[in-house]
């Protein structure tokens, strides 16, 4: 597998202005990554679209490919027609970045009473429309297991199976299954045959029998608690997850994604060293 880093990992350094978007590729190169992933998170979307051509030129200059572009979407809140139309412009941004893969969300703003089975046809329709358009531009599209509503391995697999298109696959985030209280090893085994891209992530885990501190922790669907960890420092069997991906035949990009409380400029190279060890 080739190791990339997500620009999302540098979020804290960009928020406190130690870095800007155009510093991501040089910093990733200095840390020893083989590629980068550009993520439209927070207020970065407009800047990414405005500077996509500059980012592509920079990636060529540094010899560091942009392997994927990650952007948001919500087929339920915004409607399939409008969202599929908007996402075509994001496919074009992916092309401008020089990336060959684009991940976009399924939905976020879901009424708690909504049943997955009832909205699955809309999600399948939206993803199929986007991937059919993207195929004509040489871009593969993906769903990631995140967003709580479409995060369980069974639900994501149902979307992938429903779309049933050679250009569409799964961005397998080995850590995100914990957000819906699913065992990562079991879930990665479900996801691995459909993997088109992967995220290396780790979490500190605290059961709901123990209260979590006020800062830095998120609550899972089942009421347990997670905090983003330096890769290799958390409670996950990260090597076990990666070994499952490898045994399935996956040999593509794996992007380090850090979202913990530690200084990201310390945590990212530390996580890279641990990820390399897991890949041995």
Return the pLDDT at 183.
98
Q: Which residues contact 152 (CB under 8 A, 6 or more apart)?
A: 145, 177, 180, 182, 187
pLDDT surpassing 90 at residue 63: yes
Check if the beta carbon of residue 253 is closer than 8 Å to that of residue 67: yes
CATH class assigned to 2-278: alpha beta
Predicted model pTM: 0.96
What is the distance in angstroms between the CA of the first residue and the CA of the last residue of the chain?
10
pLDDT confidence tier of residue 41, bands split at 50, 70 and 90: confident
Report the pLDDT averaged over residues 5-33. Answer: 97
Report the pLDDT averaged over residues 225-245. Answer: 98
Report the pLDDT averaged over residues 182-197. Answer: 98
Return the pLDDT at 245.
98
Helix (H) or strand (E) holding 170: strand 168-173
Return the pLDDT at 43.
78
Range ranked top by mean pLDDT from 107-116, 186-195, 214-223: 186-195
Report the pLDDT averaged over residues 111-138. Answer: 96
The domain ranges of the chain are: 2-278
Tell me, rounded to whole angstroms, the distance of Cα 177 from its chain centroid.
12
Dihedral sign for Cα 18, 24, 27, 28, please. positive
- Residue 105's SS3 state is coil
Dihedral sign for Cα 36, 270, 176, 190, please. positive
């Amino acid at each position: 597998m080739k190791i990339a880093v997500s620009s999302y990992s540098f979020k804290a350094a960009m928020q406190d202005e130690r870095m800007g978007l155009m510093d991501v590729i040089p910093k990733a190169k200095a840390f020893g990554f083989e590629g980068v992933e550009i993520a439209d998170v927070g207020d970065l979307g407009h800047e990414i679209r405005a500077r996509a051509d500059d980012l592509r030129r920079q990636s060529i200059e540094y010899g560091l490919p942009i392997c994927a572009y990650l952007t948001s979407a919500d087929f339920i809140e915004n409607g399939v027609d409008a969202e599929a139309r908007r996402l075509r412009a994001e496919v074009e941004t992916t092309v401008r970045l020089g990336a060959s893969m684009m991940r976009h969300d399924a939905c976020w703003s879901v009424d708690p009473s909504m049943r997955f089975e009832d909205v699955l046809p809309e999600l399948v329709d939206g993803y199929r429309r986007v991937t059919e358009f993207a195929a004509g531009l040489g871009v593969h599209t993906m769903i990631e297991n995140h967003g709580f509503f479409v995060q369980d391995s069974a639900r994501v697999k149902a979307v992938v199976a429903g779309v049933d298109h050679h250009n569409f696959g799964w961005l397998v985030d080995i850590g995100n299954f914990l957000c819906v209280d699913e065992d990562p090893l079991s879930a990665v085994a479900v996801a691995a045959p459909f993997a088109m891209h992967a995220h290396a992530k780790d979490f500190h885990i605290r059961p709901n029998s123990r209260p979590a501190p006020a800062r830095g922790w998120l609550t899972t669907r089942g009421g347990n608690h997670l905090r983003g960890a330096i890769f290799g420092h958390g409670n996950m069997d990260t090597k076990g997850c990666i070994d499952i991906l490898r045994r399935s035949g996956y040999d593509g990009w794996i992007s380090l994604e850090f979202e913990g409380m530690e200084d990201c400029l310390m945590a990212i190279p530390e996580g890279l060293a641990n990820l390399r060890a897991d890949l041995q």
